[in-house]
Structure 1
Amino acid sequence: MDKVQLPEHPIFNVVAEAAAELGVDAYVIGGFVRDLVLKRPSKDIDVVCVGDGIALATQVAMKLPNRPKVSIFKNFGTAMLRAGEWEVEFVGARKESYREHSRKPEVEQGSLNDDLHRRDFTINALGISLNTQNYGELIDAFEGVKDMRRQLIRTPLEPGITFSDDPLRMMRAIRFASQLGFDIDPDTFDAIIDNKERIKIVSQERITDELNKIILSPVPSYGFKLLFVSGLLHLIFPKMVELQGVETINGNSHKDNFYHTLQVLDNVAEVSDDLWLRWAAIMHDIAKPDTKRYSPKVGWTFHGHEDRGARMVPKLFRDLKLPLNEHMKFVQKLVRLHLRPIALVKESVTDSAIRRLLFETGDDIDALMKLCRADITSKNDTKVKRYLHNFDKVEKRLVEVEESDKLRNFQPVITGEIIMETFGLKPSKTVGELKEILTEAILEGKVKNEFDEAYAFLLEKGKELGLHQIHSSNN
């Protein structure tokens, strides 16, 4: 058997000593071993012992210098502790059996061989012995190392049974392929296609967790293409599938918005690992199927898809069990504004337009510009270069206007309270109108966002509305 050099960390020797004292065999198993062979960083260690995993964790904690707290999960028969920056989980070797309508297995104690058989993929069915007689020996019952060399995702057992037993493994297969840039074995992929409907018994939270990992992979389009071809995407995110396809009328065709979206997502992934910016890329054109129109004079149009898309974002987030918090609002904002910088590129850039963009976007302007640059996709390289060059000009103007006017997240110096105090008003539509008029004047550059000038403008506009100053406000 091959030997594997474990990292220089005392935790492995401590586990080995504790296992020997308890008279049980222990092994590092699964993803940590995979990442060690692939030379990928990993700080999560899974230890399987042929015996009581919780007892082993307790023994290990007693032998470590700082006596870390052991978190015990009796329902699962697992325990976890932290050793510095390493997270170590302990479990007894087990075998599993599944019922048709649940992905929760019935579990009983088993051998190491039983435990390896229940693993999802060959690349995860690897172990390293922590036992005195063969410390560091690699256990590879299903040729997982060979599959890593071949860059292949394959199930240890018959794939149809593997995926029927636990349908989430179909998402995991695609996630690992996308993260590692591996192929999926043909028989394994066929089994995903055959079992795709089984994904319906998996909770949306678990599905979305895997989907987020696909989105965060180096080239996320690869994972989405596998989801699409397998039919899984149609079940877990049908709105995205609606983007696919090209319609032609009188020789006029629109582009395939599904593959355009994937290109935009990949472009964003090259410049940012922000999950929510990547979600904005996925959703930026999500309303195009609903807004698609054909006119003999102008061809295909998608008028208002940015506003319609922004209104769709909350429901899509709810359906996907994504957080309905500031992340959702960020995606919604970028979907709504994603055409604005492109419009600035097409026309002469006025300071007023720049001010409005800074005002509406606030601290998210940099993220918006990344999305807009990513949105320039064309087979015509000259056209792409021209647009990107124009974006350079827009970004330069954004910096200049921001430096002179400080409009990022700006608030008019005249507040609603000052307006009410000045004219003796209660909260009302009139107060809102005056505040809006003042904001517009500042954005148009007619008034500086400085108190004296803005207050004089307010008095003038109040007079036009028939309001009388009853209180003089001093800054």
Structure 2
Amino acid sequence: MYSDETARLGMLARATTALEDLSETLAPLAARFGEQGHALYLVGGSVRDALLGKLSHDLDFTTSARPEVTRAILDDYADVVWDTGIDFGTLSAEKHGQQIEITTFRSDTYDGSSRNPEVQFGSNLEGDLVRRDFTVNAMAVEILGDGTLEFHDPLNGLDALLAGELDTPALPSQSFHDDPLRMLRAARFVSQLGFSVAPRVREAMADMATEIDRITAERIQVELDKLIGGEAPWDGFDLLVTTGLADRILPELSGIQMEADEHMQHKDVYAHSMTVLRQAMEQEEDGPDLVLRWAALLHDVGKPATRSFDSGRVSFHHHEVVGAKLVRKRFRTLKYSKQMTSDVSQLVFLHMRFYGYGEDAWTDSAVRRYVADAGELLPRLHKLVRADCTTRNKRKSERLRRAYDGLEERIAELAEKEDLARVRPDLDGNAIMSLLGLKPGPEVGRAWAYLKELRLERGPLTPEEAEQALLAWWKEQ
């Protein structure tokens, strides 16, 4: 990433400037700790981000002061103070809009069966830094009461940052045994920061992949979302797949690695899926769209189960149906919300629907159904379908692009005439019950469903037309 002394000095200067801009907020806080005989250090990701020029409004500190001392100082200093985890030595506060989290020096021990440490307060900075996940997160900047800053780097984290490499302060085997979640954090940092992992870290991740089974689904979900929300998620997922971690937490992804795709233009479906993810991200408008990204990554996970050969060509009939089921099952296992699970699986289910449009002229009814089935996901479906075109055949690519342009134009034309965003029957439940002499029950639901199908098929009807059609249908039941 960087290699010379100029780059090193540039990083330190950048961090110094960023922290000096916060001097009016931080120096008084450091002075209060100093008056009590304690030092205050900015640590972890806050130092790393300051060196990279990405300092956020959430700052992490460590101190020799015990939690009760920190609490008294913060109560006197901050606008708001709250208990983040005082049993773990952590308190949080806000001052001038700046979020501050302060933790007493720690020297934790682990039982080897969970990732929850037995908290032990430490006595010095180096002991606190060596317990951290990676050396790039094991640097500190001491904040002095007069605003002076002093950089501490006992584990050569700056060298690792300059090299763009993730390595552990202790042996990787010990670090990952203490907390297996750190293996997922490695993949997340690869995605977010563009770093690589040290050879010994990669080797330990592969050797210890089964240790991730100790981590709860909820924590895995959080890390996966941070990974896929990064700038280069394909690199993070590559690390999970090549080390075998994906086999434990996202086997559907590693399962497509060796499946040749139907266009025979990509090495495998896995490589194609990473290209689709990249192309979907290029269409994002307001930052990371996790629903779109997950759908792009997993849109073809149904292919291994549906692979068949016909006249020398490989095909994957109805892989979108199988894929949607696999996504729902995996997302439930990972404890995703019902909404997230529904949205991603529905996009996977619908991503092949457009290809029928390219082959045959769609009726207005078919266009209405496309819009109705997508619902609020329609803008994302547009992006996913366009991203899924990865063919290197320029003529075919242009033909697909024009076809989808045409579909969007059809949707816009119908939308001017009808409320496509909310396709509903032309009679509501009360009108149905009144016309057919029904009480609330299953028959009303069946009649409502019939009228919705009629609405999709024929477009908007007048109340009289809807009533005539419903009465005719009811007579046949």
Counterpart of 1:148 (choices 134, 153, 161) is 161
In 1, Cα distance between equivalents of 2:50 and 2:266: 47
Equivalent residue, structure 2, for 1:452:
464
Query: How far 1:216 moved relative to its partner?
Result: 0.7
Equivalent residue, structure 2, for 1:286:
301
User: Which amino acid is the alignment partner of residue 76 of structure 1?
Assistant: F
User: Which amino acid is the alignment partner of residue 80 of structure 1?
Assistant: S
CA 1:57–1:28 in 2, change beyond 3 Å: closer, same or farther?
A: farther
Query: How far 1:383 moved relative to its partner?
Result: 2.4
Matched, 1:257 2:255: no
Whether contact under 8 Å (2:189, 2:195) holds in the other structure is yes
Whether contact under 8 Å (1:218, 1:269) holds in the other structure is no
Equivalent residue, structure 2, for 1:318:
332
Query: How far 1:179 moved relative to its partner?
Result: 0.6
Equivalent residue, structure 1, for 2:5:
none
User: Which amino acid is the alignment partner of residue 281 of structure 1?
Assistant: A
Whether contact under 8 Å (1:246, 1:254) holds in the other structure is no
Equivalent residue, structure 2, for 1:179:
192
Counterpart of 2:66 (choices 52, 57, 71) is 52
CA 1:317–1:11 in 2, change beyond 3 Å: closer, same or farther?
A: same
In 2, Cα distance between equivalents of 1:321 and 1:461: 43
SS class of match (2:119): strand
Whether contact under 8 Å (1:171, 1:210) holds in the other structure is yes
In 2, Cα distance between equivalents of 1:95 and 1:436: 63
Map 1:356-367 onto structure 2 (within 5 A).
Answer: 356-367=369-380
SS class of match (2:140): strand
The two structures have a TM-score, normalised by structure 2, of 0.89
Equivalent residue, structure 2, for 1:222:
235
Gaps of 5+ in 1: 467-475
Whether contact under 8 Å (2:47, 2:139) holds in the other structure is yes
Whether contact under 8 Å (1:253, 1:300) holds in the other structure is no
Map 1:104-123 onto structure 2 (within 5 A).
Answer: 104-110=116-122, 111-123=124-136
Deviations 1:6-48 (A, max 9, x none): 0523331232121122111111111111111101141211111
Map 1:8-27 onto structure 2 (within 5 A).
Answer: 8-9=21-22, 10-27=24-41
Query: How far 1:418 moved relative to its partner?
Result: 1.6
Map 1:229-240 onto structure 2 (within 5 A).
Answer: 229-240=242-253
CA 1:70–1:426 in 2, change beyond 3 Å: closer, same or farther?
A: closer
Counterpart of 1:195 (choices 208, 216, 236) is 208
Deviations 1:52-86 (A, max 9, x none): 1442243133124xx31332523212111122432
Equivalent residue, structure 1, for 2:97:
85
In 2, Cα distance between equivalents of 1:116 and 1:419: 70
CA 1:206–1:58 in 2, change beyond 3 Å: closer, same or farther?
A: same
The two structures have a TM-score, normalised by structure 1, of 0.89
Equivalent residue, structure 2, for 1:465:
476
Q: CA RMSD in A?
A: 2.5
In 2, Cα distance between equivalents of 1:209 and 1:357: 32
Equivalent residue, structure 2, for 1:276:
291
Counterpart of 2:315 (choices 292, 296, 301) is 301
Whether contact under 8 Å (1:174, 1:227) holds in the other structure is yes
- What percent of counterpart residues are identical? 34
Whether contact under 8 Å (2:27, 2:144) holds in the other structure is no
Query: How far 1:354 moved relative to its partner?
Result: 0.9
Which stretch of structure 1 is more off in the superposition, 341-350 or 74-83?
Answer: 341-350
Whether contact under 8 Å (1:54, 1:72) holds in the other structure is no
